[in-house]
Structure 1
Amino acid sequence: MVPIICLLLCWMAPPLQGLEIHDPDEVEYIRFNVTAQAGGSVTLDCGAVLPDIFFWGFTKPGTDNNVALAHNYGKGSKLQPQASDLGRLQLNSNTSALVIEDLKEDAAGMYTCQALYDTDEGAKITFYFTRLEVTDS
């Protein structure tokens, strides 16, 4: 758990200057299972409140490779070019939810949203894990 937190915090160091994380060992992990049909659409949640900073990643079953899909460092959401391999991805404005339309069968796997919230008590980090199963159309 600590290496993941270090990786996240080290990767986010420049945008986090000025944020104080009081207890980096207190990280919340939330898990979802979602089933969607190939060719359809699905919305993957990353919390009910828009995080100050978030990153979406995807891991294909049977691999350890986490592919970056989208992020928002506080300057607006951006999709990564490799995200199109899963379907037509979008991030709706004022949310961190990842929407996949024209869902491809290869989109099945684990989606991870790493969310950072700047609170009065310091930074709060939450990981949202969503296992997506894609069924035949």
Structure 2
Amino acid sequence: MISHFHLPLFLLLLPPLQGLEIHDPEEVEYVRSHIRSSAGASVSLRCGSAKPNIFIWGFTKPGTDSNVALAYDYGQGAKVQSQASALGHVQVPANTSGLLIEELRREAGGTYTCQALYDTDGGARVTFYFTRLDVEDD
């Protein structure tokens, strides 16, 4: 499902945007998906079909408004944050923007958000990929 909303662009992406021209900074695309997996399994979460120039992964536990940073790539290689280990073994596979979680923990259930910035010929384009992950007992 793809939907378009208007949102001021004062997101976490602002610092690395220096030098990029955004033609319509208020139009942001939202893509939503839902995955089910089992505790102890591996799951791969996508951040689009093409690797963005910049991306930030966050996690929101059900029942909270808190978004915890998991991984990011500001164009110089992906970095996984230490707090991501509470969800399982988290990594960003080489040359991708996806998030791979192995040895999935029950606590990994929630909403994952990838904020992606694509530098296109028509200017920068921002897309949010939301993935709801349900983790069932194995």
User: Which TM-score band (shorter chain)?
Assistant: over 0.9
2:31 maps to 1:30: yes
Partner-residue secondary structure (3-state), 1:15: helix
Matched with 2:118 is 117
2:96 maps to 1:95: yes
RMSD: 1.0
Aligned length: 133
Report the Cα distance in structure 1 between the residues aligned to 2:37 and 2:119, rounded to whole angstroms. Answer: 33
Q: Which residue type is aligned with residue 56 of structure 1?
A: W
Matches within 5 A, 1:1-12: 2=7, 5-6=9-10, 8=11, 11-12=12-13
Report the Cα distance in structure 2 between the residues aligned to 1:114 and 1:53, rounded to whole angstroms. Answer: 8
Matched with 1:76 is 77
Point out where structure 1 has 5 or more consecutive residues left out of the alignment: none
Report the Cα distance in structure 1 between the residues aligned to 2:79 and 2:18, rounded to whole angstroms. Answer: 21
Q: Which residue type is aligned with residue 40 of structure 2?
A: G
CA contact (8 A) 2:7 2:28 kept: no
Identity value in percent: 62
Q: Which residue type is aligned with residue 121 of structure 1?
A: G
Q: What TM-score results when the alignment is normalised by the length of structure 2? A: 0.93
2:106 maps to 1:105: yes
Q: Which residue type is aligned with residue 16 of structure 1?
A: L
**Cα distance, 1:17 vs structure 2:** 1.1
Name the structure with the higher strand share: 2
Matched with 1:13 is 14
Matched with 2:3 is none
Report the Cα distance in structure 1 between the residues aligned to 2:70 and 2:82, rounded to whole angstroms. Answer: 8
Report the Cα distance in structure 2 between the residues aligned to 1:65 and 1:28, rounded to whole angstroms. Answer: 22
Q: Which residue type is aligned with residue 30 of structure 1?
A: V
**Cα distance, 1:12 vs structure 2:** 2.9
**Cα distance, 1:126 vs structure 2:** 0.4
**Cα distance, 1:16 vs structure 2:** 1.4
Q: What TM-score results when the alignment is normalised by the length of structure 1? A: 0.94
